[in-house]
Amino acid sequence: MDETAIYVYGIARDVPAEAVAGVRGVAGAPVATLDAEGLTAVVSRVSLAEFGEDALRRNLEHLDWLEATARAHDAVVDAVAEHGVIVPLGLATVYRSEDRARGALRERHDEFARALGRITGRTEWGVKMYADLAEAASREAAPAPADARPGTAYLRRRSAQRHDEEETRREILTLAGRVDDELCAIAATRRLHRPQDPQLSGERGWMILNAAYLVDDERAEDFRTAVARLAGTRPELRLQLTGPWAPYSFAAEEEAWTEY
């Protein structure tokens, strides 16, 4: 018989039975709950052959496995979120036993209680900002004087192009800061993420803002309206709004859940 472990999707204060009834999680495992100190962990029992430390190290390198597991993880969080507030945990949070999972709930009770208070009545929205520097520079580039010799004209164009690109980059960074400031004025809080590699994101252009905003649900429409307005600031800039999401970016003060 395979050894098993406890996979944790997220933490809530109370999860009604209907929230997990019939729900299947990672690896098709049934979803259940564990209680401790007034908190409830949403869990599945999984095989160590697939979710043990060594197995995870291998599996996380396989994109198909990673995508399927992430989708299943998110689906469980979304299913529970329809019935109440849940603090979503990171992918592959695994404990060797129910007792150890309950022990972790007790040890981090105050942290998760604060997280639940922080996200109640709020939702995460993602905003990414892209810039097409080539388009911006071409719009602003000045032509060389008509009487310039070919070699001189080329050098002047190259010098002007470098100057225009640098100036455009500074202007765009300043504008990105203003966009972020306006959105922060609406949001309860914000987390900045690293810009994504274009090869991974599949997006063209320079990503100059990759942020998650935690927004009061009653201000969600204000936030969406602000993004739409700011998106039309300059033609070479593009804002991408995603969400609403479960508040992964604001789930905990630190991601300290590890297998033990």
Q: CA-to-CA distance for 93 and 6, rounded, in angstroms?
A: 8
123-248: CATH architecture? 2-Layer Sandwich (3.30)
**Res. 260: pLDDT tops 50:** no
CA distances from 127 to 6, 81, 233, 245 (A): 34, 22, 15, 12
* Mean local confidence (pLDDT), 114-132: 93
Q: CA-to-CA distance for 110 and 259, rounded, in angstroms?
A: 20
Q: Which segments of the chain belong to CATH 3.30.70?
A: 123-248
pLDDT given at position 199: 65
* pLDDT band at residue 259 under the 50/70/90 scheme: very low
Residues 116 and 226: beta-carbon distance below 8 Å = no
Say which residues have a Cβ less than 8 Å from residue 3's Cβ, sequence separation at least 6. 47, 48, 49, 52
**Res. 166: pLDDT tops 90:** no
Residues 99 and 6: beta-carbon distance below 8 Å = no
Through-space distance between the first and last CA atoms of the chain, rounded to whole angstroms: 21
Alpha helices in 60-141 (DSSP H): 63-81, 98-107, 109-119, 133-140
For residue 210, list its beta bridge partners: 128
Cα dihedral sign, 198-200-193-243? positive
The amino acid that residue 70 corresponds to is A
pLDDT in tens, 47-77: 999 999 999 999 999 999 999 999 999 999 9
pLDDT in tens, 175-227: 889 999 999 999 999 999 998 776 666 667 789 999 999 999 999 999 999 99
- Collapsing DSSP to helix, strand or coil, 219 comes out as helix
Residue that wins the pLDDT comparison between 158 and 51 = 51
Range list of β-strands (E), the chain: 4-12, 32-36, 39-47, 86-88, 94-95, 122-131, 189-192, 206-216, 237-245
The amino acid that residue 246 corresponds to is A
